[in-house]
Amino acid sequence: MSALPAYKGYPGTVRFDAEAGILHGEVLHLKDVVTFQGETVEQVVQAFRDSVDDYLVFCAERGEEPDKPYSGRFVLRVEPEVHRRLATQAANAGKSLNAYVAEKLQA
């Protein structure tokens, strides 16, 4: 399975279906199932973008809000000792706790 670059904030995955001889993918993190396919990389990338656009139009026609791409915010609960240790490490690095943890997660 391979990841596609996000389009309009929506990520996708694609995999090769050897039996059918096509590339098949899915738009991720939606309540609805949105799939696409193509025979070449160019076709599957365009099909992915078309599927995201179709999904947004479909939601508008139904009067529903589309599932939103991730905001980049989430709550993380840790033991107080871990919180203290991370806050100390962030301060020693001259960074906010948020910036320090985000840097560590990206690594």
Distance CA 43, CA 56 (A): 20
Q: Determine the pLDDT at residue 46.
A: 97
Write out the chain's pLDDT in tens, 107 residues.
899 999 999 999 999 999 999 999 999 999 899 999 999 999 999 999 999 999 999 999 999 999 987 778 888 899 999 999 999 999 999 999 989 999 999 99
Q: Determine the pLDDT at residue 90.
A: 92
Kindly list the domain boundaries of the chain, sorted by start residue.
2-62, 75-107
Q: Is the pTM of this model over 0.75?
A: no
DSSP string computed for 40-95: SHHHHHHHHHHHHHHHHHHHHHHT-PPPPPP-S-------HHHHHHHHHHHHHTTS
